[in-house]
Structure 1
Amino acid sequence: MLQMIQRQNEVIEKQTNTIEEQMKTIDKQELEINNLQDRVVKLERSDSQKQKSSSEIFTDVSTPNGTILSYEKDHMHNEDSKSKFFRRLLTPEVAHNSVAFYAYISNDFGGVGKHHVFVYDTEVTNQGNAYNKHTGVFTAPTTGLYAFCYTAFASGEHVAGETGNYGEVSVQLVHNGAYKGSIYVDTETNWEEEMATGFAILMLQAGDDVVTMSKDVGQGSYHSNDIGRWSFSGFQIS
């Protein structure tokens, strides 16, 4: 009988301990719930303040190029106006130190000798003034990565007073006197025309020169007119 009572007491004691642990867990959960409720209230207040600020006047908003923009409260209720405003903030403008050029030869020509430097005398774009239309030389103003494109057009006619063979030449892209790429055009019969374009990406140091020149003596004539142009272009990537 005594043993039975002892076992019952042990069971009761275990149940009591279990109940106490559960009460502690409940108290802990109530505390966590209260903390979460406080966080929700704070987040709701913060969101309300953000919505309020977005409908107020925007002043002294600095863009990367130093432009100051302002925006009136009433316009923020118009989604189209709001979208245009933020596009103005996010859209980059042309930097003052950007480098890009595009030039072409203005007329048909011939008489290309060995290592002849092609001069693209008509500037279309020369942002940064790094290309010289009188010499055909591009000079890197700053160290960086640059992209270049060059096009040649051989004629199947004697358009510049030549006789004999028709247009043929190998055009090289040259960096500080070193070969970096080439294209080749060749016409064998009358009225045959051929055009080629080359592209290259070069790492340049400030002051480096890039030109296009013939590898050997060219033959015949070359078109550069509204049908197709000899052109040279490039821009700084980074």
Structure 2
Amino acid sequence: MEFRALLLLILPGFLFVEPGFGQRGDMDISEANNKLIKNLQDKLKDIERQQNDVDALEARLNETVDELTRQKDELKTLKKENEDLQMRLNASEGEIDKLKESRGKAAPQIAFSASLANFGEIYRGPCTDKTLVFKRIFSNTGNAYDQNTGIFTAPVNGLYYFSFSTYGYNTHIMGAVLMKNTVRQISTYDFPSVDGTDSSSNAVVLQLAADDEVYMELWDNGRVYDNLNGHTTFSGFLLFPV
């Protein structure tokens, strides 16, 4: 467009015919001017086409820049998402490693069950040494229960489940107390009555540290009875370490 304006300013100079020239000279100049004007018009059209091509190229270039900017933004977003995924993957791998470690370090297998009498019939109590020693061993996985002393010694820190049952006759107090390191925890109890026999049971979950001791004691002046039917029993096992 600027070139066209410049051409419009130049053309009048070429079209001007000085006075005094002959008629043939005027015709030659007119033809030359027409040729020049046509040549300039052709060049102007060519320049306009080139300008249009440049404008189209600039538009495509701008579109390309916009597309590159959009792709750059998407790349940043994908990079951030990839970083988040990598963090979650690392966290998951850490949890898997912990599970593998915990599975590799399986909890010790600790469980026992015993009854008071390992033969015949037995009456225990009243007596000064009130600790009940359960002699008939049904199971003792881990060997944490000592059948010579009646004491269960915790091998590891953990939560443990204990249960016991007692049986006796109406001539004495019937029952026993579950002890943890000389401290009473739970018990069974029945005083002398007109009924012939009494039986009872109880259970508890205790948190123990390694080397804590758990055992059963008679009540003062108490008595329990057992035979091979297993009326008076003591059992326990590790639920899980802590």
Task: Please give the TM-score of this superposition, normalised by the length of structure 2.
Answer: 0.51
What secondary structure is seen at the aligned counterpart in 1 of 2:227? coil
The CA distance in 1 between the partners of 2:230 and 2:169, in whole Å, is 10
Quote the offset at 1:212 in angstroms. Answer: 0.7
Residue in structure 1 matching 2:122, options 90, 108, 114: 108
Q: Give yes or no for the alignment of 1:215 onto 2:215.
A: no
CA contact (8 A) 2:146 2:152 kept: yes
151 and 140 in structure 1: CA distance in 2 versus 1, 3 angstrom threshold: same
1:185 Cα deviation after fit: 2.9
Decide whether aligned partners of structure 1 residues 173 and 110 sit closer, same or farther in structure 2, where only a CA change above 3 A counts: closer
Counterpart of 1:193? Answer: 197
2:231 paired residue among 221, 229, 232: 229
Contact in 2 for aligned 1:130/1:138 (Cα 8 Å): yes
Distance 1:144 1:134 in 2: 24
2:35 maps to which residue? Answer: none
Alpha-carbon shift at residue 112 of structure 1 (Å): 2.2
Instruction: Please state how far the C-alpha of 1:226 moved relative to its aligned partner.
Output: 4.2
Q: What is the identity, as a one-letter code, of the residue corresponding to 2:189?
A: Y
Q: Does 2:145 match 1:131?
A: yes
Give the secondary-structure state (helix, strand or coil) at the position aligned to 1:223. strand
- Contact 1:155 / 1:194 at 8 angstroms: preserved in 2? yes
Runs of 5+ unmatched residues, structure 1? 1-63, 67-94, 157-165
In the other structure, the counterpart of 1:153 is 167
Deviations 1:1-46 (A, max 9, x none): xxxxxxxxxxxxxxxxxxxxxxxxxxxxxxxxxxxxxxxxxxxxxx
Q: TM-score, normalised by structure 1?
A: 0.52
Residues 47-82 of structure 1: CA deviation (Å, up to 9, x unaligned)? xxxxxxxxxxxxxxxxx999xxxxxxxxxxxxxxxx
* Paired residues of 1:187 and 1:193 also in contact (CA < 8 A): no
Separation of aligned partners in 1, 2:129 and 2:187: 13
> Greater helix share, 1 or 2?
2
**What's the offset of the Cα at 1:141?**
0.4
Quote how far apart the aligned CAs of 1:104 are. 0.6
Instruction: State the distance in 1 between where 2:230 and 2:198 align.
Output: 10
- Alpha carbons 2:172, 2:221 under 8 Å: kept: no
RMSD between aligned residues: 2.5
**Number of matched pairs:** 136
Single out whichever of 96-105 and 194-203 deviates more from structure 2. Answer: 96-105
Structure with larger Rg? 2
Q: C-alpha distance in 2, partners of 1:104/1:138?
A: 14
Change (3 A) 1:216 1:122: same
What displacement does 1:115 show? 6.0
Deviation, structure 1 residue 108: 2.0
Note closer, same or farther for the CA distance 1:139–1:110 as it changes in structure 2 (3 Å cut): closer
* Counterpart amino acid of residue 178 in structure 1: V
Identity over aligned pairs, percent: 29
* Cα distance, 1:101–1:113 mapped onto 2, change above 3 Å: same
